[in-house]
A and B are shown apart, each in its own frame.
Chain A
Amino acid sequence: MNKRITIDPITRLEGHGKIEIFLDDKGDVERAFLQVPELRGFEQFAVGRPVEELPRITPRICGVCPTAHHMASTRCVDDVFHVEPTPTAKKLREFIYNTFMMEDHTLHFFFLGGPDFVVGPQAPAAERNILGVIGKVGLEIAGKVIRIRRECRDILNHLCGKVIHPVCGLPGGVSKGLDEEHRVQFLETAKFAVEFAQFALKIFDDVVLKNKEYVSVVLGDAYKMKTYYMGLVDSANKINFYDGHIRVVDPEGKEFAKFKPREYLNHVSEHVEPWSYIKFPFLKKVGWKGFVEGKESGVYRVAPLARLNASDGMATPLAQEHYDRMYKTLGGKPVHNTLAFHWARLIETLQAAETMVKFLEDKEITSPDIRKIPTEIPTEGVGVVEAPRGTLFHHYKTDEKGIVTEANLIVATINNAAAIAMSIEKAAKAFIKGGKISEGLLNMAEMAFRPYDPCHACGTHALPGDMPLVINIYDKDKELIKQLKR
């Protein structure tokens, strides 16, 4: 008897997504597919546009992480025009970028991924949301979370025009500078951000790490996957969200590749399947071996845990302490446990906050020298940043007038597409056996992909915040025989 289980839609994915699970005659999971039924065509309609407009067009790929696209695009446009931004512009951009990372990661932890985590996988659905988190750790937190989010977004509004779809990036610099009055004001926020990040890590420690049952789920096999890991690092191989080389380590933690943005085509390729509109990136030098893990397969992962695995450490001292602690607790590098993404995310939040302080204490950041006018003929460029959800590649070619002739984008979460599909299949196989389907399954399937924070998180988990899941079970005559809802 063949059975088909449809989970439609899943949420917190760029637009839309659905999962199809197929059972074999024994009722065990034979295959599971994560389908992304959405495509808009940015790589094509960028053609014909003036290249300096792409930093204002590409953020519309994602309204949750528009700053990531804006920055990757701006850096790409720098490269297209062969122009280096002024030192102040560089500092401003990196400050803006870390502010954004801090805010975005915070949002995810408290409103999305966090609740499952903080309240626990076995908790009733009704408690797995921000209200449950507050109930567990106190009302004071809600106030702090809202405050830090608002203050960070105020910084972005001030410097970038709009936090949803920033506009300030230009080749050679930024359009608006920072004055002393605001530097002082923002420094207050940055210092509070450091405090807050440490506070979040403490919550994590108290509520999650001290809970043996939960730790065992984190370390369990259902959520473990041995893959390659990719992230941006600086010259000392420490994590940098804004600039650097792309570094890849293998499933045993050894450096496999380190390359400059312009060399990305030698290393990253994308695979196409007929059942999804998104493509599946893989390491070119290893090859596409299917949706399998391990050293022989080109599947790799990005985003917080991957970045920590791919680097030799954090770039800031307080975050570094937590980095050391995480690896010590989880048994050394690299860590393959998918749920550890949540922990790594908080450690990155701390680095982002510390970096915000660092730039605001640098007096050069208020200099009016924020732009250099390009003088070279534009040709082609690549810009890479680490979006909260992973490595983001923008690549543009233009004619001599700077009109785009070709564009290629590999968008953060997409790097994880194969891994997410595999995580879901793995979890499904672990929890659905003999045709028995239960509420627990729904929970566990959610947990398989939410650590990746698939791009497009809306943020309010403040309402009856379950993930919508309906499982339809059809018999071989396509009759609906059972439906599980949550």
Chain B
Amino acid sequence: MSKNKPKVAFYWCASCGGCEESIVDLAEDILKVVEAVDIVFWPVALDFKKKDVEAMEEGSIAVSFINGAVRLSEQEEMVKLLRKKSQLIVAHGACSHLGGIPGLGNFWNKETIFKRAYHTTPSTDNPQGTVPMEKSVVDGKELYLPRFYDTVYALDQVIDVDYYLPGCAPPRDLILNAVQAILQGKLPPKGSVLSPNKSLCDDCDRNETKPEKLTIKEVKRPWEIMLDPEKCFLAQGVICMGPATRTGCGERCIEANMPCRGCFGPTDQVLDQGAKFLSAFASILDTNDEKEIEKIVETIADPAGTFYRFSLPKSILRRRKMEAVK
């Protein structure tokens, strides 16, 4: 272990592991980078423990990449610890950047999630109504679990974050560029999202197929029509989050002929991705008649869950009102 190599750490919160996989996908390219750093903490692969991190000096880790949203007490503790010990924190992936898919839990709370998981799912056989407890005693032995929160948080709602690597999962080029920028000390201003500040439509191949005045007469769900592989989805009446989503992903979903769902989050100028998309989409509905507008709006299957698919915790409202969760 060379003393001169910058120390790097990786950690996962409420995560699927896709961001870890995205690091592995760099395998061949990152070998040189790996040689240039010392990985001091990576629970999924290495044997360093929380205690080892606690023993480190403050600021001794050059950069920590943290993926996953925060929804357990253990995750909150760990990210706060890493913040103390790291010079830079990078929120890696949509979950730490915006809350991600686990953020959809913000339409619910601990009680409803537990009720579903441990009582009402049809395969669950739980006549005594057992639920996981923070502390339980089995045969006289005490066992502990971390506390499950009612609300899911993006990383910067818990600690100070220096940079964001967007995407679900971030594409390899983006990660590589970010890592190289860090190693060379050529970073943009603190708080930057490490992907160009334009919307997806700017880079999308289908942009040219948008008519001069784009209007939507009928909203179609992706399963309702044959999707034209070359035409702009909005022009086909299919909701595509492209206008409200930052570019940098290579339009991978579009190329598989499926509309964008916004995993890169908004551009710099936008506070709330879902509201911005709502604004843009509603503006192009092709009618001025109140009743007709109502009719079209009714066909939009799940406005909040679609417009905030990845960004619910970072939205202005953050979550469904607690008293309204049943």
Answer yes or no: B165 CB below 8 A from chain A CBs.
no
| CB-based contact A470/B14 at 8 Å | no
Q: Which of A60-74 contact B (CB under 8 A)?
A: 60-64, 66
B: contact size bracket: 35 or more
Tell me, yes or no, whether A33 is within 8 Å of chain B by CB.
yes
A110 CB to closest chain B CB, in angstroms? 12
B62 interface hit (Cβ, 8 Å): no
Question: Contacts A31-B139, A49-B305 known; A272 to B21 CB distance under 8 Å?
Answer: no
CB distance from B32 to the nearest CB of A (A): 14
A468-B44 Cα distance, complex, nearest whole Å: 9
- Bound together, the chains give a CA A49 to CA B307 distance in angstroms of 12
A160 contacts B by Cβ under 8 Å:
yes
B47 at the interface (CB under 8 A from A): yes
Cα A403 to Cα B19 in complex, Å, equals 29
Which chain A residue shows the least CB distance to B19?
A: A63
Q: Which of A44, A53, A175, A371 contacts B112 (CB 8 A)?
A: A44
Interface presence of B177 (CB below 8 A): no
Contacting pair A44 B302 (CB below 8 A): no
- B14 touching A458 by the CB < 8 A rule? no
List of A residues within 8 angstroms of B16 by Cβ: 59-63, 66, 456
Closest chain A residue to B132 by CB distance?
A: A277
Q: Does B105 contact A (CB under 8 A)?
A: yes
Q: Chain A contact residues (Cβ within 8 angstroms of B): what range?
A: 35 or more
Of the residues B100, B145, B222, contact of A170 by C-beta under 8 Å = B222
Q: B272 at the A/B interface (Cβ < 8 Å)?
A: no
Is the Cβ of A275 less than 8 Å from the Cβ of B125?
no
The answer to whether B324 has its CB under 8 Å from any CB of chain A is no
Give residues 389-433 of A contacting B (CB, 8 Å): 395, 401-403, 408, 410
Assess the A272–B17 pair: CB atoms within 8 A: no
Residue numbers in A under 8 Å from B116 (CB-CB):
41, 43-44
Residues on A with beta carbons closer than 8 Å to the beta carbon of B169 = 63, 162, 164-165
Contact A264 B226 (CB under 8 A): no
Interface residues in B74-120 by Cβ distance below 8 A to A read: 74, 100-102, 104-105, 107-108, 112-113, 116-118
CB distance from A375 to the nearest CB of B (A): 10
Q: Tell whether A52 pairs with B34 under 8 Å between CB atoms, given A16-B74, A60-B18, A463-B46.
A: no
- Asked if A39 is an interface residue, CB under 8 A from chain B, the answer is yes
Report A257-273 CB contacts with B as 1/0, cut-off 8 Å: 00000001100111111
Would B222 and A52 count as touching, CB distance under 8 A? yes
A4 to B16, CA, bound (A): 31
B275 within 8 A of A: no
Q: How far is the CA of A149 from the CA of B215 in the complex (A)?
A: 44
Mark contacts of B20-34 with chain A using CB atoms, 8 A cut-off: 1 yes-contact digit, 0 otherwise. 111111011000001
Chain A at the B interface: SS class: loop
Interface residues of A in 15-62 (CB under 8 A from B): 15-16, 20, 22, 30-31, 33, 35, 37-41, 43-45, 48-50, 52-53, 56-57, 59-62
Q: Considering the chains assembled together, what is the distance between the CA atoms of A11 and B42 in angstroms?
A: 10
- Whether, in the assembled complex, B225 has its beta carbon less than 8 Å from a beta carbon of chain A, the answer is yes
Q: Give chain B nearest CB distance to A379 CB in angstroms.
A: 15
For residue A373, give the distance in angstroms from its CB to the closest CB of chain B. 7
- Say which residue of B17, B112, B139 sits within 8 Å of A63 (CB atoms): B17
Q: How far is the CA of A124 from the CA of B126 in the complex (A)?
A: 45
The answer to whether A48 touches B302, judged by C-beta atoms less than 8 angstroms apart, is yes
Q: Is the CB of A160 within 8 A of B305?
A: no
Q: B18, A281: Cβ atoms under 8 Å?
A: no
Q: Does B56 belong to the interface (CB within 8 Å)? A: no
**In the complex where A160-B256, A274-B133 touch, is A60 in contact with B168 (Cβ < 8 A)?**
yes
Q: Are A161 and B125 in contact (CB under 8 A)?
A: no
B117 lies within 8 A of A43 (CB)? yes
Q: Give A463 to B227 CA distance when docked, in angstroms.
A: 45
Residues of A within 8 A of B122 (CB): 265, 395, 408
CA distance A160 to B130 in the complex (A): 40
Measured CB to CB, the nearest residue on chain A to B136 is A274
B186 cross-chain contacts in A, Cβ below 8 A: none
Bound together, the chains give a CA A153 to CA B26 distance in angstroms of 12
Q: Of B113, B145, B148, B223, which one neighbours A52 at CB under 8 angstroms?
A: B223
List the A side residues contacting B28 at CB < 8 Å.
146, 150
Contacts known (A15-B12, A464-B47); A40 close to B255, Cβ less than 8 A: no
Question: What are 6 residue pairs bridging A and B, where the CB atoms are less than 8 Å apart in the complex?
Answer: A30-B139, A161-B252, A162-B256, A175-B222, A269-B125, A276-B145
User: Which 9 pairs between the two chains have the least Cβ-Cβ distance?
Assistant: A63-B18, A161-B256, A468-B47, A274-B136, A41-B113, A458-B44, A60-B101, A45-B104, A269-B125
* Sample of 19 more A-B contacts, CB < 8 Å, known A53-B305, A164-B168, A175-B257: A20-B141, A38-B14, A39-B148, A41-B117, A45-B108, A48-B107, A50-B302, A61-B16, A146-B28, A159-B256, A271-B126, A272-B131, A274-B143, A279-B124, A373-B225, A463-B46, A465-B46, A466-B47, A485-B47
B residues adjacent to A (C-beta < 8 A): 12, 14-25, 27-28, 34, 39, 42-49, 51, 71-72, 74, 100-102, 104-105, 107-108, 112-113, 116-118, 121-126, 130-133, 136, 138-139, 141, 143, 145-146, 148, 168-169, 221-227, 229, 252-253, 255-258, 261, 301-302, 305-306, 309
